[in-house]
């Protein structure tokens, strides 16, 4: 009986030890996995390039960047753990297009921005674009607004930066008028970056609808087509975004969320 009691006691101790090991190991492994996932999310380091231009041609009116085109992607990426840096050609405050700050243009993202002191401070204190190195970021995103038609389309620093991101095979994303920044950008083959690639951007008919066809220096749709892009679009103001390799473009303000989604997917 003593032998049976001893064996039974030994088995009990072994089973208890095994259970303890499982209970000790499982939480540790779970914490490790959670840490890995959190670390992966925190690795997203994304550059936003906004316009510094605030004059709408010779109209005497103001322009700049479109709030929804900044705010929606900004929060979509921020909420996924991205670190976001804002830069403009001149640095300092990025001008907001007054037309994007109206009740008609209001969205959930723009309302969040208006209550977000941190985001507003970032907009007021953007970095100078010439101090930015593509190697420090995983992707770049350009919000639209009419401003980019005048400055980013011709800004040598911006052009070189996009070319650097592309050469490093990193995602490059643009929405609405922001594809204007691709006007003089070359691919690694020396040809226009958009040549032979599927692209979209603010349509000629949308520009006509806002009565600025004769005001803007060029039309985004025409420029993309003339540079060899395979341009496509949906009906005016419909949400539409397209990706070709690492290049992501969106048609209009309503397409901002789609562009952000594609950018997130490209970073996975």
Judge whether residue 9 has pLDDT over 60.
Answer: no
Judge whether residue 6 has pLDDT over 70.
Answer: no
Side by side, the strands of the sheet bearing 241-244 are: 127-128, 83-88, 45-49, 139-142, 172-175, 247-250, 241-244
Judge whether residue 15 has pLDDT over 50.
Answer: no
Give the C-alpha separation, 1 to 56, whole Å. 98
Collapsing DSSP to helix, strand or coil, 203 comes out as coil
Read off the tokens for 238.
Answer: 């419909």
Judge whether residue 125 has pLDDT over 50.
Answer: yes
Read off the tokens for 5.
Answer: 């009691």
Q: Residues 128-138: what's their mean pLDDT?
A: 98
Contact 218, 261 (CB under 8 A): no
Largest Cα–Cα distance of the chain, in whole Å?
A: 105
Task: Mark 190-229 as b/e (b = at least 16 C-beta within 10 Å).
Answer: eebbbeebebbbbbeebbeeeebeebbeebbbebbbebeb
All structural domains of the chain with their residue ranges:
44-266
| Residue 43: band (very low, low, confident or very high) from pLDDT cuts 50, 70, 90 | confident
Judge whether residue 32 has pLDDT over 90.
Answer: no
Contact 41, 134 (CB under 8 A): no
Q: What is the pLDDT of residues 67-81, one digit of tens each?
A: 999 999 999 999 999
| Residue 208: band (very low, low, confident or very high) from pLDDT cuts 50, 70, 90 | very high
Among the ranges given (3-7, 128-132, 178-182), the one the predictor scored with the smallest mean pLDDT:
3-7
- The CATH code of the domain at 44-266 is 3.40.50.880
Q: Residues 262-267: what's their mean pLDDT?
A: 97
- Among the listed residues 122, 157, 115, 151, the one whose alpha carbon sits nearest the alpha carbon of residue 46: 122
Judge whether residue 25 has pLDDT over 80.
Answer: no
* Predicted local distance difference test score (pLDDT) of residue 17: 46
Contact 145, 177 (CB under 8 A): yes
- Among the listed residues 210, 211, 207, the one whose alpha carbon sits nearest the alpha carbon of residue 224: 207
Query: What integer best gives the mean pLDDT of the chain?
Result: 89
Contact 71, 109 (CB under 8 A): yes
Judge whether residue 19 has pLDDT over 70.
Answer: no
Give the C-alpha separation, 182 to 180, whole Å. 5
Give the C-alpha separation, 235 to 197, whole Å. 21
Give the C-alpha separation, 205 to 231, whole Å. 14
Q: What is the pLDDT of residues 232-242, one digit of tens each?
A: 999 999 999 99
């Amino acid at each position: 009986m003593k032998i049976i009691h001893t064996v039974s006691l030994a088995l009990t101790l072994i089973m208890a030890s095994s259970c303890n090991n499982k209970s000790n190991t499982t939480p540790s492994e779970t914490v490790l996995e959670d840490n890995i996932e959190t670390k992966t999310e925190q690795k997203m380091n994304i550059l936003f390039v906004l316009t510094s231009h605030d004059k709408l041609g010779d109209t005497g009116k103001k322009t700049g960047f479109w709030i929804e085109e900044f705010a929606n992607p900004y929060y979509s990426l921020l909420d996924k753990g991205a670190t976001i840096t804002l830069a403009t050609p001149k640095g300092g405050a990025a001008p907001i297009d007054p037309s994007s700050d109206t009740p008609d243009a209001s969205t959930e993202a723009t309302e969040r921005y208006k209550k977000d002191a941190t985001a507003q401070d970032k907009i007021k204190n953007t970095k100078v674009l010439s101090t930015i190195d593509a190697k420090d970021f995983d992707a770049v995103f350009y919000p639209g607004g009419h401003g980019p038609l005048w400055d980013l389309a011709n800004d040598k620093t911006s052009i070189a930066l996009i070319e650097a991101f592309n050469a490093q095979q990193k995602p490059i994303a643009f929405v609405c008028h922001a594809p204007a920044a691709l006007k003089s950008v070359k691919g690694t083959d020396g040809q226009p970056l958009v040549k032979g690639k599927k692209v979209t951007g603010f349509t000629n008919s949308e520009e006509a609808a806002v009565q600025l066809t004769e005001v803007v220096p060029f039309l985004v749709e025409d420029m993309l087509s003339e540079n060899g892009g395979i341009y496509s679009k949906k009906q005016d103001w419909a949400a539409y975004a397209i990706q070709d390799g690492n290049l992501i473009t969106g048609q209009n303000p309503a397409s901002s969320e789609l562009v952000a989604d594609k950018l997130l997917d490209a970073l996975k």
